[in-house]
Amino acid sequence: MSRLKNIFLTGMIFIILGASVFLTSSIVKGKTWKDKGMMETIVLPDSEIMQRASLGYTNLAADLIWLRTIRYINIHNKGDKKYPELPRFFKLITDLDENFKDIYRVGGEALRELSKDPKSSISLLEKGRSIYPDDWKIAYESGRSYSLTNQWELATKSFEESLKMPEAPEWIAIHVAEGYYRQRDYMKSLYWWFRISSTTNNKEVAAMARSKVLYLDTLIPAIRIAESCKLFWEKYRRLPHDPEELVRAGFLDFVPEEPFNGRFVIDRKNFTIESTYISSLLLNCLEELSAKVRMYKDKHGNYPVSIDDLKNDEELGLNFPMHPYEGEYYIDHSSKRVMSTKDYLARIEIN
């Protein structure tokens, strides 16, 4: 009798949910993608109704709603590429089956990338984290969604927690280092980049990490000089000529050492702090890339439109230099040379 009852209940849920799908298909037949997408959500029931209609077979109901979700995404992917009801689908699925583990990660990514709705993505992922606190993938996706809303403290916390979980890949440490940098916690960012440079077996990652360490090693004392310059300005209404004048005026106890045997320079015209060592590195990078622009012309018969053209060239894109001042390269089309968007370490903020 128990077996007959299970067969009956299984049949009932298929009839109820199947009727919903059939109704949707019937209504949308001959409609445009916009009409179809709208009808998909009109027929979609809310969580309470679905709980009752599933007759206890909530896992099966969640699976069927997941199929409906895929249909909804496909309809809009062929049309307007907008997915306004996607949060409703994923909420219903996880209300019906909170242990549907992969849905939290897949749904979180879909809400962030397709719906452009990081807040709904965070809500779904945090729901998943409460059920699967040791799943690194869910925690990592949560960090990515927090970063899109510029909640860098929460993003970094999620990345760091993810990194400590079983089977978490080492590359998540890059997101931790970047997260601390975005919070302007440069000492912690420096620690993480140094750790990455010392532990990774990936040559490209190691090179990137060493470049970040170089930059932060010079950025941190440069910021201290910039802050002292601001105090000097507030007292004398001018900028000091050099860091030594800050020491003589009592705004610094000593001149911070430039870590690579260069020196710090106060650009009084542009209100910035520069490093002679990093500036020389930047000039070398610009010369190297400008030469590659000419090589690109010889190879392809025309000049590259953007820096990406150089990066994507199989030959010229090899060993592409990172920007030593953490700026961007661009091609000046009048001179056919590569230029930089940034040539300083720290800006002196004057009110």
8 Å CB contact between 58 and 96: yes
Q: CA 69, 71, 74, 80 torsion: positive or negative?
A: negative
Average pLDDT rounded to a whole number, residues 72-85:
86
Distance CA 219, CA 194 (A): 15
Average pLDDT rounded to a whole number, residues 251-263:
93
Give the pLDDT confidence score for residue 284 in this predicted structure: 97
Average pLDDT rounded to a whole number, residues 140-151:
96
* Percentage of the chain exceeding pLDDT 90: 70
Angle at 63 between CA 59 and CA 66, to 5 degrees: 135
- Evaluate if residue 42 carries a pLDDT over 70: no
In this prediction, residue 8 has a pLDDT band, given cuts at 50, 70 and 90, of: very low
Give the pLDDT confidence score for residue 46 in this predicted structure: 67
Give the pLDDT confidence score for residue 254 in this predicted structure: 95
In this prediction, residue 48 has a pLDDT band, given cuts at 50, 70 and 90, of: low
What's the 3-state SS for the chain?
A: CHHHHHHHHHHHHHHHHHHHHHHHHHHHCCCCHHHHHHHHHHHCCCHHHHHHHCCCCHHHHHHHHHHHHHHHHHHHHCCCCCCCCHHHHHHHHHHHCCCCHHHHHHHHHHHHHCCCCHHHHHHHHHHHHHHCCCCHHHHHHHHHHHHHCCCHHHHHHHHHHHHCCCCCCCCHHHHHHHHHHHCCCHHHHHHHHHHHHHHCCCHHHHHHHHHHHHHHHHHHHHHHHHHHHHHHHHHHCCCCCCHHHHHHCCCCCCCCCCCCCCCEEEECCCCEEEEHHHHHHHHHHHHHHHHHHHHHHHHHCCCCCCHHHHHHCCCCCCCCCCCCCCCCEEEECCCCEEEECCCCCEECCCC
8 Å CB contact between 135 and 101: yes
The region of weakest confidence among 123-132, 232-241, 275-284, 312-321 is 312-321
- Evaluate if residue 27 carries a pLDDT over 50: no
Beta-carbon count within 10 A of 261 CB: 8
Instruction: Please state, rounded to an integer, the average pLDDT across all residues of the chain.
Output: 87
Q: Which of 29-33, 61-65, 331-335 has the highest mean pLDDT?
A: 331-335
Cα–chain-centroid distance for residue 321? 22
Give the pLDDT confidence score for residue 326 in this predicted structure: 92
- Evaluate if residue 167 carries a pLDDT over 50: yes
Give the pLDDT confidence score for residue 319 in this predicted structure: 85
Token duo for residue 231: 């105090």
Average pLDDT rounded to a whole number, residues 206-214:
92
* Percentage of the chain exceeding pLDDT 70: 84
| Domain architecture of the chain: domains with CATH | 2-173 (1.25.40.10), 218-351 (no CATH)
In this prediction, residue 263 has a pLDDT band, given cuts at 50, 70 and 90, of: very high
- Evaluate if residue 207 carries a pLDDT over 50: yes
The region of weakest confidence among 11-15, 66-70, 78-82, 112-116 is 11-15
In this prediction, residue 59 has a pLDDT band, given cuts at 50, 70 and 90, of: confident
Residue with tokens 């979609």: 44
